[in-house]
Amino acid sequence: MNELNKEQLKEMMKSVAKRIVEAEPYLTEIDLKIGDGDHGTGMKRGFLAVERMLETFYPRSCEEVFQAVGTCLLDTMGGASGVLFGTVFISGIVKREERDTFSLKDFAEVFFTSLASLKKRGKAKVGDKTMVDALEPAVLALKEGSEDGLDLTEGLQKAAEAAKKGMEYTKTIKARFGRAKYFGEKAIGLQDAGATSVYIIFQAMADFVKGEEQ
Q: What is the pLDDT of residue 15?
A: 98
Q: What CATH class is the domain 3-213?
A: mainly alpha
Q: What is the pLDDT of residue 84?
A: 94
Q: Is 178 in contact with 162 (CB distance < 8 Å)?
A: no
Q: What is the pLDDT of residue 126?
A: 97
Q: What sign does the CA torsion over 154, 111, 198, 76 have?
A: negative
Q: What is the pLDDT of residue 181?
A: 81
To the question of pTM greater than 0.75 for the whole model, the response is: yes
Please give the angle made by the CA atoms of 155, 116 and 59, to the nearest 5 degrees.
Answer: 60
Q: What is the pLDDT of residue 63?
A: 98
Ranges in the chain, pLDDT < 50: none
Q: What is the pLDDT of residue 169?
A: 98
Q: What is the pLDDT of residue 182?
A: 72
